[in-house]
Structure 1
Amino acid sequence: MIIRMEDAVGSGAGQAVTFSLTDGDTVHILHPEQIVAYRGPSSGRSDRLMNVKGIYRKKKLIRADITGPSQFTAALPVGFSMHEIQLEGEQDMLYDFRHVFFYTQHVTMQTRILKIKNMLVTRDAVKMKFSGKGSIGILTQGPVCKVKLHPTEPLYVDAGSIIAYPEAAKLDLTVYGNHLASQHMNYHWKLTGDGYVLFQAGRQNQRLVNELNDEGIIKRFLREAIPFGGVFIK
């Protein structure tokens, strides 16, 4: 299987990804509504309902199984890119179900239900555990960072930015820093243990862009108060 990212045209445009499958390849797409073009036999695509435990069990989640030889293109949401992760044998990583875009043949998927208190804060109920030999595709905002955990020294990661972490890791929802810092930050996962954690580093970008593009109260006041301020103050 060959995966090719298509170049985005124009600022603010979303990305697209093209999958080229050879005879014997199979890929499972968890967001089949994003497929915009397909070339191959009609029988090469078979959609089915997923059996997912937990809060998602009431939703009709559909998975598209596509076999080769075929080629198809899927659109990605604006601001998102896809990161492919190679799996080798048994894995102990738990992934955010909402961000999993695809997984290949010979990769098995199991669900893990979070604790109730964590569900209420993160609005996330299910994590996915993958094992086997193949690859999975994760939708991310910005680059993907990989940091090694320490058994006693905690790593704090924004709860909405985390992609995957070891199943055996210890997690606590918290904030850190002094009183002012803790008042103005999102909830973070406090992680300790062995293995690595993956997180996306672009989730906060839009908020900063909005702040940088904001004219600000002082500039608007000066433009209105000073004669010809609208001419000299841009």
Structure 2
Amino acid sequence: MSGHSKWATIKHKKGAADKARGKLFAKLIRQVEVAAREGGGDTDMNPTLRTMYQKARDASVPLDTIERAIKRGTGELEGVTYEQITYEGYAPNGVAVLIEVLTDNRNRTGGDVRSLLKKTGGSIAEPGAVAWQFERKGVVVIPGSVAEDDIMLAALDAGAEDIGDEGDTWRLTCAASDLPAVRSALEGADIPFDSADVTMVSSTTIPLETPEAAKAVLKVIDALEENDDVQDVYANFDIPDELLQSLEA
């Protein structure tokens, strides 16, 4: 999973995120709307909505746009009803892939996902085939310049479970439900962080040691993420830092 996270960071630095900002906004707004529909429009009473709200704000989605999405979710404004579906599959080299979608047409999206996997060298899997490898967690990425002891002192009582050294960053994990508290604790201690999100963390990783292997898997991930209905793609690959740097170049 660390390789996937690093690749996303590289794409952001290269400006790819800015080019896709309109697509990103649309996906975040859809997530806010679904969270409000399922748990109500009060962020204090709906932790999922609170997380999605903050995620949208972090991405600079305008406040009035977020508020309209909440109202569509609660029925105050007319909107489309989206269904949450998770597809499971494989990328080349046996890499497990989880694909989370929000769709108003199950048949269309299912066909699109299967087609994208097939065209890029992947394959669809039966339900449960790869999901057992993943657990939903809160993950905070913190600059490596921050002292590890300072991070744990600030976040431990708020629910932080583990911290991992990923070279130029720290990767702090917690229960998904504890993410808002951990985030608030870090902010209260003036500890900067690059991102704070609920994600799926894999219990195992598959190393991709060659440019050919890395490119083959990233081709699948990127193609899936381009689909408007796909909200998140999770995979259990790991790419060495030096190989990621060569791909970036």
TM-score by length of 2: 0.24
The structure number with the bigger radius of gyration is: 1
TM-score by length of 1: 0.25
Q: Which has the higher contact order (CA 8 A, sep 6+)?
A: 2
